[in-house]
Amino acid sequence: MSPRADDASPGAPLEFAPRSPESPAKPEGPEVPQGSGSLEEVFDRTFSGIGQVLEGFTPRLEPREIGTLKTTYTGIAKVSGLANVGFDELVRFPGDVYGIAFNVDEDEVGVVLLGDYWDLHAGDEVERTGRVMDVVVGDALIGRVLDPLGRPLDGGETLVGCERLPIERPAPPIMDRAPVTVPLQTGLKVVDALIPIGRGQRELILGDRQTGKTAIAIDTILNQRGRDVLCVYCAIGQRASAVAKTVATLRDKGAMDHTVVIVSEGDDPPGLTYIAPYAATSIAEHFMEAGRQVLIVYDDLTQHARAYRELSLLLRRPPGREAFPGDVFYIHSRLLERATHLRPELGGGSLTALPIIETEAENLSAYVPTNLISIT
């Protein structure tokens, strides 16, 4: 309404003329259809879709158990606050460093570290993973050089999407085993003619330093070329230069086409040295359970026993003869018992083990050599 002020006298009240009605402005955008309940249909479809999604959704709690790092030593750690952690369970430290729960006490857990621990500090968070240590397995490993965690050491691509198996697995039961009847040709005439090794057997190679123990094992691997036998070479606590020389020999002779190399170097944490033969055996077992013939070489189990002794002493386990813990026999017996020849109904695969032991001054009566002699 606008005032008509042209004919008004001074002091007279202003009169307002009515404004002509105008139609309201139309909102911009697409027209919403009127009638027929279209808006209700949109709501119905929306809520119906939400309902279908909710029907297929099951809420699941994922609790996390967090502990605290108390202290670290050379290759081990003491952790508190993990009341429900299990023996041999993996735990995760900052920086994706993993460890194995080795001592489970009432107030703390002794953990064997599997990586570089220099950046770990007291007070860091430690998380349970709910799984045990496992390793990648499969045909993708053939021709590769890996560490016990499955990480490549040959500059090749990282193995992803592969099947995984626990490194600690029970040995095949008695009723799953078949007699050892087929010989494994080593290429050494004296051995093959007089004391042949059967597929699925365990045969110990022992001697002093620089007496050709590794050479015998490598010659046996080289002799399997073209014989449909896969080989796993496990270097335990070896010098990097010695391992590089061995791998170069296998490549030059064309043996890497049927060989997997698992390496734990001398400067690795003792935890990696300890799990190396178990990881290598799980890799070999995967091929055996697929019906294939497999040869595994442990070079050498003396270093493995020393790494276990180091871990046990750091974890305050009571020492025994030669400062080895009382269960050093068991760690090797449960390892070598996994070598066997399976029944034809289970694929007929075999796993032949050649463990190597280093003696001192030809002393065959030392603790570890006598243990291995009795096992094999």
Write down the domain spans for the chain: 66-132, 134-375
Is the predicted pLDDT of residue 31 greater than 60, yes or no?
A: no
Nearest to 183 by CA among 200, 170, 165, 205: 200
pLDDT of residue 308: 96
Average pLDDT estimate for 175-190 = 94
The answer to whether the CB of 349 falls within 8 A of the CB of 357 is no
Question: In percent, how much of the chain has pLDDT > 90?
Answer: 71
Computed over every residue of the chain, the mean pLDDT equals 88
Tens-digit pLDDT profile for residues 203-250: 999 999 989 999 999 999 999 998 899 999 999 999 999 999 999 999
The CA distance from 75 to 112, in Å, is: 6
| Mean pLDDT value of segment 334-348 | 95
Tell me the pLDDT band of 14, cut-offs 50, 70 and 90.
Answer: very low
Q: Given a cut of 70, is residue 112 above it in pLDDT?
A: yes
Pick the CATH number of 66-132 from 1.10.167.10, 2.40.30.20, 3.90.1150.10, 2.40.30.10: 2.40.30.20
Taking alpha carbons only, the member of 359, 355, 363 closest to residue 339 is 355
What per-residue confidence (pLDDT) applies to 38?
73
For CA atoms 334, 339, 342, 347, the dihedral sign is positive
Do the first three CATH levels of 66-132 and 134-375 match, i.e. the same topology?
A: no
Q: What is the pLDDT of residue 57?
A: 72
Provide the pLDDT for residue 122. Answer: 92
First CA to last CA across the chain, in angstroms?
112
In the prediction, which pLDDT does 252 show? 95
pLDDT in tens, 354-368: 999 999 988 888 999
Banded model confidence at residue 29, pLDDT cuts 50, 70, 90: very low
**pLDDT class for 58, splitting at 50, 70, 90?**
confident
pLDDT bracket for residue 37 (50, 70, 90): low
Query: Whose structure tokens read 């944490």?
Result: 269
**Residues found in the chain:** 376
Round to whole Å and give the CA distance between 306 and 316.
Answer: 15
pLDDT tens for each residue of 265-282 = 999 999 999 999 999 999
pTM of the model: 0.83
Beta strands in 10-154 (DSSP E): 16-17, 66-72, 76-80, 89-93, 97-104, 109-113, 125-132, 134-137, 145-146
Helices and strands per DSSP (H, E), number in the chain: 8, 18
| pLDDT, mean of residues 85-110 | 92
Residue-level pLDDT at 30: 45
pLDDT of residue 166: 95
Helix runs in the chain, H state only: 38-55, 189-194, 213-222, 240-252, 270-289, 301-314, 328-336, 367-375
173's CB contacts (< 8 A; 6+ apart) are: none
Q: Say if residue 42's pLDDT is above 90.
A: no
User: Burial of 334 by CB count in 10 Å (0-12 exposed, 13-18 middle, 19+ buried)?
Assistant: middle
Query: With bands split at pLDDT 50, 70 and 90, how would you rate the model's confidence at 53?
Result: confident
* Mean pLDDT (whole number) for 110-128: 92
Regarding the domain with residue range 134-375, which homologous superfamily does it belong to in the CATH classification? P-loop containing nucleotide triphosphate hydrolases (3.40.50.300)
Candidates 333, 334, 314; CA nearest to 372 is: 333
**pLDDT by residue (tens digit) across 93-103?**
998 899 999 99
3-state secondary structure 356-370: EEECCCCCCCCHHHH
